[in-house]
Structure 1
Amino acid sequence: MPGDQPDPALAGQTLPPGYPAEPPPRRPWWRRFARVKLRHVLLGVLAVFMLIIAWLAITAPLSKSLQPIAAPSLTLLSVEGDPIARRGADIRAPVEVAKLPKYVPAAFVSIEDRGFYSHWGISLRGIGRALWRNLRGGGVREGGSTITQQLAKTSFLSPQRTVGRKLQEVLIAFWLEAWLTKQQILERYLSNVYFGDNVYGLRAAAEHYFSVPPEKLSVAQAAMLAGMVKAPTRLAPTNHLRLARERAALVIAAMARDHVITAAQAKSTRPASVNEEDEDEEVPTGTYFADWVLPSARAADEGEAYGAREVQTTLSSRLQQLALQTVRGAGLGKAQVALVAMRPDGQVLAMVGGKDYSRSPFNRATQARRQPGSTFKLFVYLAAMRAGLRPDDTIQDAPLRIGTWQPKNYGDSYRGTLTLRDAFAYSSNVAAVRLSEKVGRAKVIQAARDLGVTSPLNDNPSLPLGTSGVTLLEMTQAYAAVAAGAYPVRAHGIEDPDKSWWQRMWHSYAGTTSDRAFGDMRDLLAAVVQKGTGRAASLQIPVYGKTGTSQDYRDALFIGFTQDMVVGIWVGNDDNTPLGKVAGGGLPAQIFRTFVSGATGAAPAAAAPPPVEEAPPIETGDANFAIPLGDSGVDAGVQVKGGDVSVTLQPSPPGGPDRGPPPPGDRREPPLANVPPPPPQGGRDRPPPPDDDEPQG
């Protein structure tokens, strides 16, 4: 072939020494293919190995095995220093194996992982035994885990029992064995293992069960703790002392077998005595207030990761107990209840989110968005006062139509021309709607926002009647702003313990704005209790408040305040069914009076007339107009179809109430302590209208 002929250009040339005269024969194709494949396989194995190392470095950082595997214990304290709730686990500082008696770590090794010092993270014998038992049992019943695997599982993995998780556990065990000494692995294991009773780690367990540090544990105590690890809840001596002692006996026998102790020591060792349950165990783990304040408490607590911590709250044990007693004795029947009591600066003193936390931890004070009824009129009249109106200005309490919608008063009864004070006191629906349309619903919504209402509000004509769902806590802190003379007030349950009283006071009012209209609003709120729908809440001290009842008596509220306390009460059914003639001026006002009377020592007002029934029928005459009923978690919504309406405010009639000078006191909103007594009933120049019936409110 032409390719086999010598090159003429090379004829006569001498080849260099060592150069082969003939080209070497080519290797067989199958050898060349095997060589290429082997190279690819080795590269693939190296890539997989590097991926595993990267996964381990991300998933199982060694420092994580030093971290507590549960949130540390946090005890909430009342202002009196009483524990009111405890959350989290009992976790103490890590142990050092070198400082423990030799039989303490040896007890765990003897019963949990006899070959701990000889294997590389896994026990083939243990895995084989576990596989056999799992096959016989038809499922994953035993893991065959070594101490290293247990550390890998508790520190880095979920508690699921699957084949995939088991493979992850094995990989992490190899990783730990490669980078940590046996002593380090054992220390981290003993410092984090679970011992029942929400106790983690050997130090916490020794203190919890025996009131001794781990360095002082006896043989019997060490054996009992080592025996608990297999089933900590079932074998905890506080739950089953007999089972715990039987298991401890097995551990002592294993220690003797492994020559940790002598046979004579094993025979002479008596069962360990366990601490009796102390009174602190009666501290509840959850209450309505604790659930609400815990995120703030965790944020405020910047202590070490180990050890029990305590956080001071604003809750008063005395007032909380009084609140519970008050609602339990209120005769609620099947209805639910919520109560919030706070200082004018927002410090929450008591909180009741329902009749029974153990049956329903849903907090109706902070989580339920219900219709506030006429308590929402606070924002309507505040917007009017901001616009320059005064309590003695007048408004028509007469039938009103907005498009096809016609709001009505209770009993379809109207009083004609009323002062704003009287319209608010008697909770006229049509007057509130007129006023809202006059000043503008946008300003009403802005007033609500200024005072801390964050729930969605529907911009429609029924807004002033409280048809948008809000929480009781929002409404109570809004009334607290009126009591404080500045806004916004933020309800809170944690105070900074490092701040002095004057720093806390300054912080409470820092960033707030005074409002000249608050003085007029206190005038109106006082009239409600003195002569209006809130007379059942009257005491022999100045009381300011407002009643509220939603459509068909589905929600009943009273929110009010005295000199240094603001209290909101809601009564309703979780399924939003009617209460059956329970109005805000009835049961909620009575609960307010009972609670505040007990809190302040003030007696109820003498010969207070019984509350007049208030009902809120809102007739529309239009199927396209929907008044929501409110519920426990969904914002209410209203749709209105119809034209606009011309609304006018009437000037004071001749000889009637006039604008006159400001009410006594500084209109720049002095502190509540300087607020003058409520004005005389009926305004300045005329007696109050008859109160034989009562509108929504």
Structure 2
Amino acid sequence: MANGRGGRREPNFDVPEGRAADPAELDLRLSGADRAGGGVAKRETGTRTRNEAPRRASKPKRKARRPLLGRLIYAGLVLSLWGVIAVAGLVAYHASQLPPIDQLAVPKRPPNIAILASDGSLLANRGETGGRVVSIKELPPHLPRAFVAIEDRRFYSHLGIDPVGITRAMTQNLTRRGLAQGGSTLTQQLAKNLFLTPERSASRKIQEAILALWLEQKYSKDEILELYLNRVYFGAGAYGVEAAAQRYFGKPAKAVTLAEAAMLGGLVQAPSRLAPNRNLPAAQARAAMVLAAMEDLGFAKPADVKLALATPARPAGARGGGSANYVADLVMDVLDDFLPKFETDIVVSTTVDTGLQAAAEKALVDELNLKGGRYNVAQGAVVSMRPDGAIRALIGGRDYAQSQFNRATTARRQPGSAFKPFVYLAAVERGLTPDSVREDSPVNIKGWSPENYSRDYRGAVTLREALALSLNTVAVRLGQEVGPKAVVQTAQRLGISSPLQANGSIALGTSEVTPLELVGAYAAFANGGTGVIPYVIAGVKSAEGKVLYKRSEGGLGRVIDANAVSMMNAMMHETFVSGTAKKAEVPGWDLAGKTGTSQDFRDAWFLGYSATLVTGVWLGNDDGESTKKVSGGNLPGEVWKAYMTTALKGQSPTALPGAGRWRNRGSDGPVATASTPGGLLGALLGEPEPPRPRVATTQRGRAPSADDRNFLEKLFGLGE
């Protein structure tokens, strides 16, 4: 049937009838004829029938295997290729995290403020960097060479990264113990300082290398080295070699020696650990390594290296004990008033005299070191200015390193009797004179009964005598006569800006003031009646010399009548002749001033002046603890005299404005002077007592007593 339909032929598996097909007997393999193109006859064997057994295929020939070395080379090449691709991918990725190359720029260095003394010498640097930018041409050759020798000896031959240096560092880290070695070039270090964070990661190192290559393409080697030297950190807030040289050696970078250059070059590896002012032996050992490297590279002559090793660098002590920093702090406090904005380095010229600054600091520190413990006084301040308000010396504390609080400008303390000149000025402006008489006797104001320092009374006295001896009762009576408001207004007119309480005790200096403003107010007496605004900045220039600010003449105008100035100077001169300031007299000089002691001996003051210099001294404790009877006439007077003796040396003595008109003009005879002692002092020394309205008395009688001897101590400057 199958053969009858369309000629279709059914497959015949040649299985005998009556027997089932055995799968094992079936040959289902395709013959060559069964495949596409199976009709093509084979060249050698021809066709074979379907039932013909297939010929066994011959074994293929085994290919020759490559040598092991060849296979390793091949694998290495493949791995290297993939490594290059991976590195390229990493570089591309991390490069994409950076700003586009055409937008990259070296960030501006924060501006430095160089603060100079009146003679042009550097007092201090301020700003984030601690020093000005210097050109590599300004520096001695051994300074940049020290950094190249120890940090990157192939600096002038590599392209920003140094494979040799990296390999050497890796080898040392694997084979040696101790401090890990770095393979970063100077260019890489600069890239990190300019653009990157301090984190240590593979990502940052890749970016560092990319930026180093960019820097090498954009700048010359000397430009890169100059950027590096001005940006690298040396510790102690010093960025750049100029800041470091000033910080550690007290000199500009252009003046450092070979030994100092080696120490600076070695310092950048670990600024905190190797700072010479903290760990001098470690700093000197590292400097010796730098010198050896410089000699090995031919950067320094063997003889010079030998000398540098024999005399290693040592840090310089802070000039003036660091007190110039108090001046610098004041400059920074007021600079915005004159130059609100600046983006480049500036130079600020001040009125401060370095010699006077050092003399003022020495006088204060020596006194506190000698007597501070005995008298329980820990701190002090000194302000000295010309009569026009130009600050010549300013000491804000005993030790700037220990305390940066500026007591000269910021601490408000009770002036005590140093405030009395404002009371007397208000009185003479209302018609009284140095020879006007007032009663020194007990006084009571609504239950308040102030006493004199010595707790005795002298009866009727002239204003000249009352001010010289700092009699509290007379000052209080005068304050009541003119009115507390008039006293406050007078003080404010002369430049006191601190809040003042218009009450009865204002006459005894119970309202707090700063040393700076009190000295500034006294300047009006020294200059003949013109109010001043104390100032320290004389001018400001850019680093290139362009004038940005120059102080013009200024002040508060006339604040005291000429006749009133004459009377005040005559009365305050008497304090140096026969009063509480006698111990501070400088022979040959016409001086005037006033002492002051606050309640419970918390504050002690001495304010005094010549016609050329006004100086104030304050001593006390920051926490207000009482001293052991430190009064204006003893320790502060000693500081004042020590300083003024130095400050006035070599100058020609000049008379105080108008003082001669009212000096020694008592209605009943001359006032006692240094050459003709009178009163109690004259009696004890066997000198005749000059005529006066009334003889000094005490409540206990006229004969010298223990209280009289106490008064004598005060008269010589041991009291108020």
TM-score range, shorter chain: 0.5 to 0.7
1:549, 1:325 → 2: CA distance? 20
2:436, 2:451 → 1: CA distance? 22
Q: CA deviation at 1:570?
A: 2.4
What does residue range 586-665 of structure 1 map to in structure 2 within 5 Å? 586-597=634-645, 599-600=647-648
Secondary structure in 1 aligned to 2:371?
Answer: coil
Q: 2:573 aligns with which of 519, 523, 526?
A: 526
Q: Is the 8 A contact 1:433 1:461 kept in 2?
A: yes
2:104, 2:504 → 1: CA distance? 60
In terms of Rg, which structure is larger?
Answer: 2
Moved more, 235-244 or 577-586: 235-244
Q: CA deviation at 1:357?
A: 5.1
1:483, 1:118 → 2: CA distance? 65
The aligned counterpart of 2:223 is 187
Q: CA deviation at 1:373?
A: 0.7
Q: 2:604 aligns with which of 556, 559, 562?
A: 556
Matching residue's letter, 2:331 = S
Secondary structure in 2 aligned to 1:406?
Answer: coil
Matching residue's letter, 1:513 = R
The aligned counterpart of 2:663 is 679
Secondary structure in 2 aligned to 1:581?
Answer: coil
The aligned counterpart of 1:328 is 366
What does residue range 3-82 of structure 1 map to in structure 2 within 5 Å? 62-64=105-107, 67=109, 71=112, 74=114, 76-77=116-117, 79=119
Question: Measured at CA, do residues 428 and 567 of structure 1 come closer, stay the same or move farther in structure 2, by a change above 3 Å?
Answer: same
1:116, 1:316 → 2: CA distance? 48
Q: Is the 8 A contact 1:152 1:169 kept in 2?
A: no
The aligned counterpart of 1:288 is 323
Question: Measured at CA, do residues 675 and 192 of structure 1 come closer, stay the same or move farther in structure 2, by a change above 3 Å?
Answer: farther
The aligned counterpart of 2:428 is 385
The aligned counterpart of 2:493 is 450
Question: Measured at CA, do residues 314 and 371 of structure 1 come closer, stay the same or move farther in structure 2, by a change above 3 Å?
Answer: same
Question: Measured at CA, do residues 513 and 162 of structure 1 come closer, stay the same or move farther in structure 2, by a change above 3 Å?
Answer: farther
Matching residue's letter, 1:553 = F
Gaps of 5+ in 2: 1-94, 246-251, 542-549, 670-691, 698-707
2:104, 2:502 → 1: CA distance? 54
Question: Measured at CA, do residues 683 and 373 of structure 1 come closer, stay the same or move farther in structure 2, by a change above 3 Å?
Answer: farther
Provide, for residues 389-431 of structure 1, a one-character-per-residue CA deviation record: whole Å limited to 9, x for no partner. 4444454544444444333334554455544434333323233
The aligned counterpart of 1:342 is 385
The aligned counterpart of 1:690 is 696
Secondary structure in 1 aligned to 2:256?
Answer: helix
Q: Is the 8 A contact 1:199 1:205 kept in 2?
A: no
Secondary structure in 1 aligned to 2:619?
Answer: strand
Question: Measured at CA, do residues 248 and 436 of structure 1 come closer, stay the same or move farther in structure 2, by a change above 3 Å?
Answer: same
Provide, for residues 522-547 of structure 1, a one-character-per-residue CA deviation record: whole Å limited to 9, x for no partner. 23312333343333334554321111
1:374 aligns with 2:417: yes
Question: Measured at CA, do residues 306 and 408 of structure 1 come closer, stay the same or move farther in structure 2, by a change above 3 Å?
Answer: closer
Q: Is the 8 A contact 1:341 1:566 kept in 2?
A: yes
Provide, for residues 124-158 of structure 1, a one-character-per-residue CA deviation record: whole Å limited to 9, x for no partner. x99x989x99xx99xx9999866565334423567
The aligned counterpart of 2:134 is 92
Q: Is the 8 A contact 2:443 2:449 kept in 1?
A: yes
What does residue range 494-573 of structure 1 map to in structure 2 within 5 Å? 494-495=537-538, 507=552, 512-516=557-561, 517-538=564-585, 539-573=587-621
Matching residue's letter, 2:217 = T
Q: CA deviation at 1:320?
A: 3.9
Q: Is the 8 A contact 1:94 1:201 kept in 2?
A: no
Gaps of 5+ in 1: 1-48, 213-220, 256-264, 499-504, 603-669
Q: CA deviation at 1:292?
A: 1.4
Matching residue's letter, 2:696 = P
**When the two structures are aligned, how many residues end up with a matched partner?**
542
Q: Is the 8 A contact 2:529 2:560 kept in 1?
A: yes
Q: CA deviation at 1:551?
A: 1.0
Identity of aligned residues (%): 31
Matching residue's letter, 1:154 = N
Secondary structure in 2 aligned to 1:676?
Answer: helix
The aligned counterpart of 2:353 is 315
Matching residue's letter, 1:321 = A
Question: Measured at CA, do residues 174 and 678 of structure 1 come closer, stay the same or move farther in structure 2, by a change above 3 Å?
Answer: farther
Q: Is the 8 A contact 2:383 2:616 kept in 1?
A: yes
More relative contact order in 1 or in 2 (CA 8 Å, sep 6+)? 1
1:172, 1:683 → 2: CA distance? 89
Q: Is the 8 A contact 2:146 2:290 kept in 1?
A: no
Q: CA deviation at 1:316?
A: 5.4
Q: CA deviation at 1:314?
A: 3.4
The aligned counterpart of 1:472 is 515
1:207, 1:319 → 2: CA distance? 24
1:519, 1:456 → 2: CA distance? 28
Matching residue's letter, 2:371 = L
Q: CA deviation at 1:549?
A: 1.0
Question: Measured at CA, do residues 169 and 394 of structure 1 come closer, stay the same or move farther in structure 2, by a change above 3 Å?
Answer: farther
Provide, for residues 419-476 of structure 1, a one-character-per-residue CA deviation record: whole Å limited to 9, x for no partner. 4434333323233334334434333223222323233333433222222332222222
Q: Is the 8 A contact 2:116 2:348 kept in 1?
A: yes
Provide, for residues 181-237 of structure 1, a one-character-per-residue CA deviation record: whole Å limited to 9, x for no partner. 35469834552343859683699978735499xxxxxxxx9x999876534673999
Q: 1:155 aligns with which of 194, 209, 212?
A: 194
Matching residue's letter, 2:595 = T
Question: Measured at CA, do residues 91 and 234 of structure 1 come closer, stay the same or move farther in structure 2, by a change above 3 Å?
Answer: farther
1:482 aligns with 2:525: yes
Q: CA deviation at 1:376?
A: 0.9
2:314, 2:145 → 1: CA distance? 32
Q: Is the 8 A contact 2:267 2:283 kept in 1?
A: no
What does residue range 200-279 of structure 1 map to in structure 2 within 5 Å? 200=240, 208-210=256-258, 229-231=268-270, 234=274, 240=283, 242-246=285-289, 272=305
Q: Could you state the TM-score of these two structures normalised by the residue count of structure 2?
A: 0.58
| RMSD across aligned positions (CA) | 6.0
Provide, for residues 304-341 of structure 1, a one-character-per-residue CA deviation record: whole Å limited to 9, x for no partner. 9689x895743152684377258626852423443333
Question: Measured at CA, do residues 211 and 420 of structure 1 come closer, stay the same or move farther in structure 2, by a change above 3 Å?
Answer: same
Q: CA deviation at 1:352?
A: 4.4
2:598, 2:159 → 1: CA distance? 72
2:203, 2:437 → 1: CA distance? 80
1:577 aligns with 2:625: yes
2:598, 2:145 → 1: CA distance? 70
